[in-house]
Amino acid sequence: MATNRTFTMIKPDATAAGHTGKIIDRIIGAGFTIKAMKWTQLSKEEAQAFYAVHAGRPFYRELVEYMSSAPIVAAILEKDNAVADFRDLIGATNPAEAAPGTIRADFAESIAANAVHGSDSDENALIEGKFHFSASDIA
């Protein structure tokens, strides 16, 4: 059964380009409620750990460098069918293939610097949320 929470990060390309407010506005406008949110910067070690599932992929080293290169916004979001609906809102990994009107189509720079992260399953949403937040951070 689908749970009602997902996890997102607004990535370094988007925070550096000044797109943070517009992206948060899109997320709220699509019906998501913010349960926890913080502005932070990942250390290289934290980025390695967060993306450990991709260790060994050809893009892993570049991904870790990029994700630790500038601030991010991490957030836990709530909505019915949150994981799938958020993936629909952000669009395909490669912005060239992202549907018109999606966050990645409108704000991403490249397949690597693609503006936002969205969890790919309920299980990973829980793991990723716990990576950044403790229970007392959630309201």
Interface with ligand UDP by CB under 6 A: which residues? Answer: 54, 59, 63, 93, 111-112, 114, 117, 120
Q: How far apart are CA 40 and CA 28, in angstroms?
A: 20
Which residue, 62 or 137, has its beta carbon nearer to ligand UDP?
A: 62
In whole angstroms, how close is the CB of 139 to Mg ion at the nearest point?
Answer: 26
Question: What does the chain come to in residues?
Answer: 139
| Contact in structure between 11 and 116 (CB atoms under 8 Å) | yes
In Å, the largest CA–CA distance within the chain is: 39
Using rule CB under 5 A, residue 109 touches Mg ion: no
23 neighbors 74 (Cβ within 8 angstroms): no
Give 6 or 114: the residue with its C-beta nearer to ligand UDP. Answer: 114
Residue 120 near Mg ion by CB under 5 A? yes
Between 32 and 91, name the residue whose CB sits nearer to ligand UDP.
Answer: 91
From the candidates 19, 54, 117, 132, give the one annotated as an active-site residue. 117
Residue 117 annotated among the catalytic residues of the structure: yes
Nearest to Mg ion of 25, 81 (CB atom): 81
CB atoms within 10 A of CB 92: 16
| Residue 63 near which of Mg ion, ligand UDP, none (CB within 5-8 Å, type-dependent) | ligand UDP
Write the burial class of residue 79 (CB in 10 Å: 0-12 exposed, 13-18 middle, 19+ buried).
middle
Asked if 122 touches Mg ion (CB under 5 A), the answer is: no
Give phi and psi for 77, each to the nearest 5. -120, 150
Catalytically active residues, by annotation? 117
Site residues (vs Mg ion, CB under 5 A): 120
